[in-house]
């Protein structure tokens, strides 16, 4: 037996959903405006995960153009109906809610390819799907309540999905508005058919500090649902800001082949009880059943810091459970961690055989909600050094290349180099809520290439240029607690002609993501 540290998926991996087929588990998380979207991860022990594909990986499957940060792909659900895999999810465009909406995709192989999306005629977010004993399909999700007395509250709906018509059919049923009086936002619902009953697991309290998990059950899928008297069955809100881990909620249940149960859910590691640059991460929680109800973290009542894994392969050595993502080192261009904004990386850059990227400069700047020449990686460790080598020789006059710590279009910090008629200029720029502060501006002579990156240490992001530390930026000005939104931080390279016609491209090589020793569990 070994123990593994929570979170099982560090960095921005919110709204986890899980299913098991045979002895394999499959898990998906939200990816918002980053593509490829919805990583599909596989595990045989719930702790070591490998990314086997992405559900939204083809340019044009969905239209992300103009979608701002914290819009895009929200809370997916993954299930297997005995024959094929299903993912239901929502594309959110906050500026134009008529665009996007709930959709379903299917695949024989969870690694892909996934089908083109079919739109569901249901508003709201957080769709999920459950299968009846007779093969009927029940979609459910959450949306703003329609009746005026529930103003500003959400409600969970259930409606049948016809496999032949590939559409929602029949009557809609509103089954749940949350367990705890005065607490808002019932969301992230999942229905399970178990021992002749239907169970509902839903989040409430909002995805921040007051987040919680509640459970209800019914004899029929359409209700009436009766809440567990122990609701909320898991929350960290009563632990206060000193709990270290806050915002636990949005759970999905899974049963192991041996009959034991677990849940995955999101929570945030917030050292000061407020800020969490790594975003909402995926945690594992043991579950038992008592008197027909699931008990989350039995005997403990909070997410465990460590999870015992009695079922792991005896031959596995201590310390080898970490998923690949935790290993420090080179991140070649074909690494599955690379993401771009609103288009897949291959749409803005070319991965070369030597592991480097060729990134054509684009007109768009980082604050544009369009297709930006950007290649990024999640921040998965509080203490990590990230660097890359950028060739600047081809950079044309007025063009900028840089390394950015990104929360959104509005909030980011970059170390960047711009070519001017007089030569190259090095800058550190901190953009906060659309106002820009220049922390450093210097004329510099560089060799043909330059190493740019960041030294992240807790709250400190220190930009680095050719090994030299530059004025740092406080993570507490950039994380979602400071800026709003749903995301953890991303590190990336970008290249822009600052609105003019782009003329060049830059080569990016030797990208190294190196968690500091203490950060590697
Ligand atoms: C998600 C909702 C939420 O759709 O945040 O955890 C939204 N709560 O359920 C985006 O991740």
- Report, as an integer, the average pLDDT of 202-225: 97
- Report, as an integer, the average pLDDT of 106-119: 97
pLDDT at 315: 45
For the ranges 76-90, 143-157, 215-229, the lowest mean pLDDT is seen at 143-157
CB distance 486 to 14 below 8 Å? yes
Q: Which listed residue (33, 57, 160, 187) is catalytic?
A: 187
Of 397, 406, 409, 394, the C-alpha closest to 360 is: 394
Helical (H) or strand (E) element with 482: helix 480-483
Q: Is the pLDDT reported for residue 429 higher than 60?
A: yes
Distance between CA atoms of 51 and 31, rounded to whole angstroms?
14
Q: Which residues face 246 on adjacent strands?
A: 268
Q: Is the pLDDT reported for residue 431 higher than 90?
A: yes
Per DSSP, which regions of 221-276 are E strands?
226-227, 234-235, 245-255, 261-269
CA of 448 to the centre of ligand 1 (A): 45
> Residue 149's pLDDT band (boundaries 50, 70, 90)?
confident
Catalytic residue check, 510: no
Catalytic residue check, 364: no
CB distance 205 to 232 below 8 Å? yes
Among 31, 77, 126, which residue has the most ligand 1 atoms within 8 Å of its CB, making it the best to mutate? 126
Instruction: Give the residue, 152 or 331, on which the prediction is more confident.
Output: 331
Residue 376, Cβ density class (10 Å: 0-12 exposed, 13-18 middle, ≥19 buried):
buried
pLDDT at 2: 65
pTM over cut 0.90: yes
3-class SS string, 303-369: CCCEEEECCCCCCCCCCCCCCHHHCCEECCCCCCCCEEECCCHHHHCEECCCCCEEEECECCCCCCC
Averaged pLDDT score across all residues of the chain: 93
CB distance 216 to 174 below 8 Å? no
pLDDT at 457: 97
pLDDT at 327: 63
Tallying the residues shown for the chain, one arrives at 521
pLDDT at 4: 74
pLDDT at 322: 52
The residue whose C-alpha atom lies closest to atom 1 belonging to ligand 1 is 75
**Alpha helix positions (H), 73-179:** none
Q: Is the pLDDT reported for residue 320 higher than 50?
A: no
> Residue 99's pLDDT band (boundaries 50, 70, 90)?
confident
- 64-91 confidence digits (pLDDT tens): 999 999 999 999 999 999 999 999 999 9
* 235 Rama sector, left if φ>0, alpha if ψ -120 to 50, beta otherwise: beta
Q: Is the pLDDT reported for residue 321 higher than 70?
A: no
- Report, as an integer, the average pLDDT of 25-42: 97
Distance between CA atoms of 303 and 236, rounded to whole angstroms?
8
Residues with CB under 6 A from ligand 1: 14-15, 30, 74-75, 125-126, 187-188, 203, 207, 250, 486
Q: Which listed residue (15, 126, 399, 411) is catalytic?
A: 15
Distance between CA atoms of 52 and 323, rounded to whole angstroms?
12
């Amino acid at each position: 037996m070994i123990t593994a540290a929570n979170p099982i998926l560090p960095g921005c991996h919110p709204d986890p959903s899980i299913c098991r087929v045979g002895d394999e588990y499959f898990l998906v998380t939200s990816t918002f405006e980053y593509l490829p979207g919805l990583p599909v991860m596989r595990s045989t022990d719930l702790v070591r995960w490998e990314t086997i594909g992405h559900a939204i990986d083809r340019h044009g499957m969905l239209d992300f153009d103009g979608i701002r940060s914290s819009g895009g792909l929200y809370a997916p659900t993954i299930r297997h109906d005995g024959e094929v895999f299903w993912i239901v999810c929502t594309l959110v465009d906050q500026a134009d809610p008529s665009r996007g909406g709930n959709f379903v995709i299917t695949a024989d192989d969870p690694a892909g390819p996934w089908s083109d999306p079919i739109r569901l005629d249901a508003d709201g977010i957080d769709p999920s799907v459950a299968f009846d004993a007779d093969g009927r399909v029940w979609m459910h999700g959450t949306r703003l309540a329609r009746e005026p007395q529930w103003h500003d509250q959400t409600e969970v709906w259930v409606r049948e999905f016809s496999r032949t018509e590939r559409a929602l059919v029949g009557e809609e049923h509103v089954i749940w508005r949350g367990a705890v009086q005065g607490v808002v936002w019932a969301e992230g619902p999942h229905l399970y058919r178990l021992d002749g009953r239907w169970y509902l697991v839903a989040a409430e309290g909002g995805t921040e500090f007051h987040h919680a998990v509640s459970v209800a059950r019914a004899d029929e899928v359409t209700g009436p649902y009766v809440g567990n008297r122990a609701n909320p069955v898991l929350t960290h809100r009563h632990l206060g800001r000193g709990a270290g881990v806050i915002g636990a909620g949005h759970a999905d249940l899974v049963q192991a082949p041996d009959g034991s149960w677990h849940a995955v859910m999101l929570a945030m590691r917030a050292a000061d009880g407020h800020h969490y640059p790594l975003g909402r991460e995926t945690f594992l929680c043991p579950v038992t059943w008592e008197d027909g109800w699931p008990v989350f973290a039995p005997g403990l009542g909070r997410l465990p810091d460590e999870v015992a894994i009695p079922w792991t392969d005896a031959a596995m050595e201590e310390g080898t459970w970490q998923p690949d993502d935790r290993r420090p080192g080179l991140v070649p261009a074909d690494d599955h961690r690379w993401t771009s904004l609103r288009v897949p990386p291959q749409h803005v850059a070319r991965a070369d055989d030597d592991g480097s990227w060729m990134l054509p400069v684009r007109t768009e700047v980082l604050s544009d909600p369009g297709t930006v020449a950007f290649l990024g990686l999640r921040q998965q460790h509080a203490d990590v050094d990230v660097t890359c080598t950028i060739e600047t020789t081809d950079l044309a006059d007025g063009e900028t290349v840089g390394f950015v710590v990104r929360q959104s279009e509005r909030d980011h910090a970059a170390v960047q180099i711009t070519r001017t008629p007089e030569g190259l200029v090095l800058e550190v720029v901190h953009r906060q809520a659309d106002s820009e502060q220049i922390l450093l501006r210097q004329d510099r002579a560089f060799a043909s290439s330059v190493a740019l990156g960041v030294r992240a240490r807790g709250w400190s992001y220190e930009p680095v240029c050719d090994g030299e530390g530059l004025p740092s930026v406080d993570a507490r000005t950039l994380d979602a607690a400071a800026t709003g939104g749903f995301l953890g931080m991303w590190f990336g390279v970008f290249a822009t002609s600052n609105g003019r016609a782009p003329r060049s491209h830059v080569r990016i090589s030797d990208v190294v993501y190196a968690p500091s020793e203490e950060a590697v569990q």
